[in-house]
Structure 1
Amino acid sequence: MSNKKSPTNVEIWADLVNIKDLILSIIICLFFTLGSYFIAPNKPPMPLFFGLGGAVLGFIITSFIIKPKRIIKEESEGEQE
């Protein structure tokens, strides 16, 4: 048995996700979405647009902070005739 701690993963939509990274990304996106929504002018469509813009900004920031952890190995099959 090894003493190495493996990251805790959970399966979401047939993909394994690290719980810590998932919670961090949800918090970041929630912060930017709600922050943008609350600073928007009180005219009817503006809070929607600001909230959507904040969600996109949060997604972009999250994609830079949390790097993918997949290792893709490309194997070529032998020529089949």
Structure 2
Amino acid sequence: MTKKKEEAQNVEIWADLVHIKDLIIAILICVIFTMGGYFIAPNKAPMPLFFGLGGAIIGFIISSIIIKPKRILKEIDETEENQK
């Protein structure tokens, strides 16, 4: 994949590049679990809030398992950096 095509599929969020497809998948997963938790909650005052927050946490965990980081970290010694 060329660099320009790869950049076209990314969007910058909080000074970091994010793949658009992964972002949309993560948002959908979190929204589905959050709203699911909200709607299955008992109709007592704080329960929809707690169930919705629980659904958001579950959606976050599932998203972080499904979507793997694409970043490659390379550790460079200070001596190697000075030689360049």
Q: Does TM-score exceed 0.5, indicating one fold?
A: yes
Aligned length in residues: 76
Q: Secondary structure, in 3 states, of the residue corresponding to 1:6? A: helix
Larger fraction in helix: 2
Q: Which runs of 4+ in 1 moved over 3 A?
A: none
Is the partner of 1:61 in helix, strand or coil? Answer: helix
C-alpha deviations, 1:14-60, integer Å up to 9, x for none?
00000000000000000000000000000000000000000000000
Q: Distance in 2 between matches of 1:70 and 1:26?
A: 20
Amino acid at match of 2:27: I
- Report the counterpart of residue 46 of structure 1 in structure 2: 47
How far residue 12 of structure 1 moved from its aligned partner, in angstroms, is 0.4
Name the counterpart of 2:82: none
Task: For 1:6-17, list aligned pairs within 5 A.
Answer: 6=6, 8-17=9-18
Give the unaligned 5+ runs of structure 1. none
Q: Which amino acid aligns with 1:57?
A: I
Q: Distance in 2 between matches of 1:67 and 1:45?
A: 34
Return 5+ residue gaps in structure 2 as ranges. Answer: 80-84
What residue number does 1:72 align with?
A: 73
Q: Distance in 2 between matches of 1:9 and 1:34?
A: 27
Q: Using the aligned pairs only, state the percent identity.
A: 72
Shift in Å, 1:61:
0.3
Provide the TM-score with structure 1 as the length reference. 0.89
Q: CA deviation at 1:6?
A: 2.6
Per the normalisation by structure 2, the TM-score is: 0.85
How far apart in 2 are the matches of 1:45 and 1:66? 32
